[in-house]
Amino acid sequence: DADVTQTPRNRITKTGKRIMLECSQTKGHDRMYWYRQDPGLGLRLIYYSFDVKDINKGEISDGYSVSRQAQAKFSLSLESAIPNQTALYFCATSVAGATDTQYFGPGTRLTVL
């Protein structure tokens, strides 16, 4: 079984809709992250959480919110989706420590029409 899972894997929605992307992990890691990836722009950090009570904005958090429901679960919400949020979204985890090697989920491809 995959250590980091994301649901859904693909989603098509309309402008203005609320969308939630979910991430679960069985690695027992404290740290979790949400990134988006766009062609030519690379991976950009949206939000990250170093433990259940810790939520931090990344470089592109506007238009997004997150919830850390448990150590193993980290959800990303788009309150009112817009077309420029069409992207590939990745969840990642890491162990708290000196190097933060990250383990990524399979990704969610989101299309906002």
Partner 1 sequence: SQKIEQNSEALNIQEGKTATLTCNYTNYSPAYLQWYRQDPGRGPVFLLLIRENEKEKRKERLKVTFDTTLKQSLFHITASQPADSATYLCAPGRGYGGSQGNLIFGKGTKLSVKP
Chain residues in the site for partner 1 (CB under 8 A)? 4, 33, 35, 40-43, 45, 48, 56, 58-59, 88, 90, 92, 94, 98-107, 109
Closer of 20 and 45 to partner 1 (Cβ)? 45
- Least distance between partner 1 and beta carbon 31 (Å): 8
- CB half-sphere exposure, 80, CA atoms < 13 A: 2
Decide if 49 contacts 55 (C-beta within 8 A). yes
Closer of 68 and 105 to partner 1 (Cβ)? 105
- Least distance between partner 1 and beta carbon 81 (Å): 21
- Least distance between partner 1 and beta carbon 65 (Å): 17
Q: What is the DSSP letter of 85?
A: G
Report residue 110 as tokens. 């989101």
Closer of 41 and 113 to partner 1 (Cβ)? 41
Maximum Cα interatomic distance, the chain, rounded to a whole number of Å: 41
Instruction: Please give the backbone phi and psi of residue 83, each rounded to the nearest 5 degrees, phi first.
Output: -55, -30
- Least distance between partner 1 and beta carbon 17 (Å): 24
Q: What is the DSSP letter of 98?
A: S
